[in-house]
Amino acid sequence: MGELSLPARAYLLACDTARDRLPDRERVALLVRAAALTDLVLRGRITDDGGRPVASGAGGTGHLVLDDLLAELAADPHRKWRAWVRRGARETLRSLEEQLDAAGVISLRTSRVLGLFPRRRPEVREPAAAAALRDEVRAALRSDAPVSADVAALTALTAAVERAAVLSRGERRRHRDRLAGLEEQAGAAVPALRKVIRELRAARTARIAAASGGGG
């Protein structure tokens, strides 16, 4: 597959290769956005300034999704990490999918829900490579051995988005201390992603409760 950015690898981890689909596009979009922020941190292209990501350096990264995000950060340096995880997440996901499709990493197919609403279905061209990523993340969580910063980040991001098919809830609980160490290597976007996921879960719970109350 060649050199893939961190958001591209996070996307492949999120794909359900058995069914050629994304299990939850909203969460995957947030994961990809947070991975893009984290990638820029690891490249030394953004730093934390009082709880806000600030772009630094000059020139491009060679990855369009990352360069687009850098431009956004430079144009609006006043938002906090959590806001940047949410902001533009769907657009970043669509852009990444189009680039991975053009590069032959995935094939995008469009189906229609109820014959009306278009839905993108990604087919990973090399499922074995995606499986290797899952194995790498699981090994990083279960071992106490040092891992590279990008593997630490990928593992922490996957845990934060609660992708149970890759890292189960039980595994995340058993290896809580290990995850804390990996997250520290990854930077500020990971705890911001976890907060957004918690907010998303709470909002869905509230909607279900309201619907149940209304139905009574």
Q: How high is the pLDDT of residue 116? A: 60
Specify the DSSP element, H or E, that contains 206.
helix 189-215
User: CA angle, corner 38, sides to 128 and 40, nearest 5?
Assistant: 105
Q: pLDDT tier at 121 (50, 70, 90 boundaries)?
A: confident
- Identify the sign of the CA torsion 126, 130, 136, 138: negative
Average model confidence (pLDDT) across the chain: 89
Q: Is 187 left (phi over 0), alpha (psi -120 to 50) or beta?
A: left
How many CA atoms lie within 13 Å of 81's alpha carbon, on the beta-carbon side?
A: 24
Pairing of strands 117-124, 53-55: unpaired
**Amino acid present at 75:** A
Per-residue pLDDT of 54-82, as tens digits, reads 998 888 999 999 999 999 999 998 999 99
Asked whether the predicted pLDDT for residue 20 surpasses 70, the reply is no
**pTM of the shown model:** 0.90
Q: How high is the pLDDT of residue 118? A: 65
Q: How high is the pLDDT of residue 117? A: 62
Per-residue pLDDT of 122-160, as tens digits, reads 889 999 999 999 999 999 999 999 999 999 999 999 999
The Cα 129–Cα 155 span in angstroms is 16
How many CA atoms lie within 13 Å of 124's alpha carbon, on the beta-carbon side?
A: 24
Q: pLDDT tier at 113 (50, 70, 90 boundaries)?
A: low
Asked whether the predicted pLDDT for residue 22 surpasses 90, the reply is no
